[in-house]
Amino acid sequence: MKNTFFIAVAMSTVMLFSCKEGQKDESVAEVTEVKTDDFNYMVEQFADIKVLRYQIPSWDDLTLKEQKLVYYLTQAGLEGRDIMWDQNYRHNLTIRKALENVYVTYNGDKTSDEWKSFQTYVKRMWFSNGIHHHYSNDKIKPEFSSDYLRGLLTATSSTLEGEAFDVIFNDKDSKKVNQSKGVDNVLLSAVNFYGPDITNNDVETFYAAKKSPNADKPLSFGLNSRLVKENGQLKELVYKSGGLFGPAIDKIVVWLEKAQAVAENKAQGDALGLLIEYYKTGDLQTWDDYNVAWTAATDGNIDYINSFIEVYNDPLGYRGSYESIIQIKDFDMSEKMSVLSENAQWFEDNSPLMEEHKKKNVVGVTYKVVNVAGEAGDSSPSTPIGVNLPNANWIRAAVGSKSVSLGNIIHAYNNAGSSGRLQEFVHDEEEEALEKEYGQIGDKLHTALHEVIGHASGQLNPGVGETKETLKTYASTLEEGRADLVGLYYLYNPKLQELGLVDDWKKVGTVAFDGYIRNGLMTQLIRLNLGDDVEEAHMRNRQWVSAWAFEKGKADNVIEKVTRDGKTYFKINDYEKLHGLFGQLLRETQRIKSEGDYAAVEALVEGYGVKVDQTLHAEILERNKQFTSAPYSGFVNPVIVPTVDDDGEITGFNIDQPESFESQMIDYTKNFSNLMN
């Protein structure tokens, strides 16, 4: 799962969780930390996007063999880039090919407003891996006319015709992922996991008929395929060599085989071998075997994520989006934070969950702080800041899980500059001062607790199916909210100080509560257009957690809505009682998951997480107009360039930073277009 988790911190950085069942997200408050080095983190800003750079601080500490492993894994990840584009929408690759050709070859007037609008549209498309917004899932609206685009196409001998042209300007396929209640979510979602005529009922009927060989170890049916109708019959097109996405997968395999040859140890090499076999066969039992082996392979300085993993882009939560993250261990920070995984059983035993929902033996929970060396697919350009995998509940229970925080990504966010949103939305100077002093440590710990303890906690009741089957479209937001609540519950706890993680647990917990409520009830609304419902899973979970606590605490005035000088603020009056409310909600969310209570999750999410107070929303948008800093951020990747001797053997590597966002995107198309016709 991905921590696209929102960090409401003093800095208000972008906190993305990879709670992969999960997705990505960032905080809308802004970083207040002063830059600590001379590195230029900012690449450019356009529309609602900031593009940043990150460094690889631990690169020089690696041996040449380890550097080769990182390079091969990074190349493998990039070879699958086109897969994500195609998964996001069936016309994305066709549109990208035409628009990039225009972008690169057009020699006409580049001073006009329409050309500048065209440039911005292409950059937004690159950032989102397609024509739908990376976060809202709404189709990106061009600010140039169809006639203007036709002229550009003609001038550059580019071809874009029929539905692929028309869809840029019309209302068709307007939502990549539609999570609305009471509609056919699959039929109304443009995401290319299903044929255009596939319905919710088709999906549920098809997979209801599938049975795992071992009911205690359910296979991840649908994870690596597209479901279509051929001659009226439902059929899966499997992602594998010789199957769907075969040309890209074959290139991935070539680099993974090179990586396996320089693996750090046998366990790591064996896991890579299983991943290669999975790509070649598409066999879901091999996928589980790989995840068991990968989870157990904890030695070494290098790790990675590669394959079809997170299911956020599937409205019904079956199909995994392609992604890759290459990780180098941050030894110092990993050692400091290892205390969390070492005490995972204590956290489980002392949680407010019902006894029958607690794990009696929390196994295999590992946590590391890592430095990213490269990302692709669903993790690039918009990236998580934390990841917890694998997603299969039975593997978590039997073998364990790996949790990581992406240290250099968080560092880049914190040093990329501030816009002042924090001061606008905090209730008073005391809240602001505490945020500046304790916000960053609170955010880091919330990410760690969310990933390490949150996603590893709790268990399903015997006989209850996977959450994608029982909780359906609400599975992802319930899981992310549940993990958030674990983090919140333990952030306000003296155990953190006892473990040496903080010097004042109460102040850290206070800051965490302030930031979460502020974001959940106010600041995240800057990402929505006035009149919109909340649809993205992480935004929903932050709102339903915050709104539920606000309502349930009204009798005791736990959280007070304050109006001052025409502006709204939320003030927490009783942190102890709010801590208790978070515990109650955590207990209930785990019950819902453990029992598969669809009616309860529907009532929770629809009652608290979807609808927006339009008067407050209008006010927040108006107050936010003063800030020019974009609410979303992402990254270009450093370029790892091998140096070779006369025999072609790699003797070393240089790390280059791309000149611009557009240069990296054009370079990727030139070198990694494995699915383009």
Residue 295 has pLDDT above 50, yes or no: yes
Q: Is residue 148 in some structural domain?
A: yes
Handedness of CA 659, 660, 663, 665 (dihedral sign): positive
Position 309 scores a pLDDT of 97
Position 416 scores a pLDDT of 83
600 CB-contact burial (10 Å; exposed 0-12 / middle 13-18 / buried 19+): middle
Position 9 scores a pLDDT of 30
Do 26 and 143 fall within a single domain?
no
- With cut-offs at 50, 70 and 90, classify the pLDDT of residue 3: low
Identity of the amino acid at 231: N
Question: Mean pLDDT score of the chain, rounded to an integer?
Answer: 93
Do 115 and 26 fall within a single domain?
no
**Stretch among 43-52, 145-154, 329-338 having the lowest mean pLDDT:** 329-338
Q: Is residue 662 in some structural domain?
A: no
Domain boundary among 580, 595, 624: 624
Residues 406-448 have pLDDT tens digits of: 999 999 988 887 667 899 999 999 999 999 999 989 988 998 8
DSSP 196-219: TT--HHHHHHHHHT---SSTTS--
CB 23 within 8 A of CB 537: yes
Where residue 130 falls (left for φ over 0; alpha for ψ -120 to 50; beta otherwise) is left
How far apart, in whole angstroms, are the C-alpha atoms of residue 456 and residue 1? Answer: 11
Do 51 and 161 fall within a single domain?
no
**Stretch among 67-71, 274-278, 438-442 having the lowest mean pLDDT:** 438-442
Q: Is residue 226 in some structural domain?
A: no
Do 51 and 102 fall within a single domain?
no
Domain boundary among 624, 649, 667: 624
Residue 23 has pLDDT above 50, yes or no: no
How far apart, in whole angstroms, are the C-alpha atoms of residue 578 and residue 584? Answer: 10
Q: Is residue 273 in some structural domain?
A: no
CB 405 within 8 A of CB 20: no
Q: What is the mean pLDDT of residues 296-312?
A: 96
Q: Which two tokens stand for residue 74?
A: 């990074």
Do 569 and 451 fall within a single domain?
yes
Q: What is the DSSP letter of 460?
A: P
Structural domain span for residue 483: 2-56+301-624
Residue 10 has pLDDT above 80, yes or no: no
DSSP 393-459: HHHHHHT-EEEEEEHHHHHHHHTS---SHHHHHSSSHHHHHHHHHHHHHHHHHHHHIIIIIITT---
Residue 628 has pLDDT above 90, yes or no: no
Position 414 scores a pLDDT of 82
How far apart, in whole angstroms, are the C-alpha atoms of residue 548 and residue 609? Answer: 9
Position 27 scores a pLDDT of 43
Q: What is the mean pLDDT of residues 572-577?
A: 98
Domain boundary among 118, 151, 166: 166
3-state secondary structure 466-527: CHHHHCHHHHHHHHHHHHHHHHHHHHCCCHHHHCCCCCCHHHHHHHHHHHHHHHHHCHHHHH
Instruction: Spell out where 127-257 has E strands.
Output: 225-230, 233-238
Percent of the chain with pLDDT over 90: 86
Q: What is the mean pLDDT of residues 66-81?
A: 98
Identity of the amino acid at 310: E
Do 379 and 517 fall within a single domain?
yes
**pTM to 2 decimals?**
0.86
Do 52 and 92 fall within a single domain?
no
Position 22 scores a pLDDT of 33
- Tally the domains of the chain: 2
Do 95 and 31 fall within a single domain?
no
Query: For residue 273, how far is the Cα from the chain centroid?
Result: 26
* 3-class secondary-structure state, position 304: strand
Q: Which of 23, 22, 33, 49 is nearest to 444 (CA)?
A: 33
Q: Is residue 257 in some structural domain?
A: no
Query: For residue 249, how far is the Cα from the chain centroid?
Result: 22
Element (H, E) at 287: helix 284-296
**Stretch among 35-39, 211-215, 449-453, 466-470 having the lowest mean pLDDT:** 35-39
Q: Is residue 209 in some structural domain?
A: no
Residue 199 has pLDDT above 90, yes or no: yes
Residue 5 has pLDDT above 80, yes or no: no
CB 50 within 8 A of CB 417: no
Position 418 scores a pLDDT of 63
CB 485 within 8 A of CB 578: no
Q: What is the mean pLDDT of residues 486-495?
A: 97
Residues 24-56 have pLDDT tens digits of: 344 443 333 434 468 999 999 999 999 999 999
Do 349 and 305 fall within a single domain?
yes
Do 161 and 17 fall within a single domain?
no
Identity of the amino acid at 280: K
Position 21 scores a pLDDT of 32
- With cut-offs at 50, 70 and 90, classify the pLDDT of residue 12: very low
Do 323 and 419 fall within a single domain?
yes
Do 38 and 91 fall within a single domain?
no
Position 17 scores a pLDDT of 37
Q: What is the mean pLDDT of residues 562-575?
A: 97
The Cβ of residue 171 has, within 10 Å, a number of other Cβ atoms equal to 7
* 3-class secondary-structure state, position 577: helix
Burial letters for 101-119: b for 16+ Cβ neighbours within 10 Å, e otherwise? bbbeebeeeeeeebbeebe
Q: Which two tokens stand for residue 100?
A: 């990039």
Please state, in angstroms and as integers, the Cα–Cα distance from residue 195 to each residue in 206, 232, 274, 576, 583, following that order. Answer: 14, 12, 30, 51, 42
Q: How large is the C-alpha radius of gyration of the chain?
A: 24
Q: What is the DSSP letter of 139?
A: B
CB 191 within 8 A of CB 176: yes
CB-based contacts of 310, cutoff 8 Å, min separation 6: 1, 2, 18, 20, 21, 22, 23, 320, 321, 323, 378, 391
Q: Which two tokens stand for residue 437?
A: 């002093």
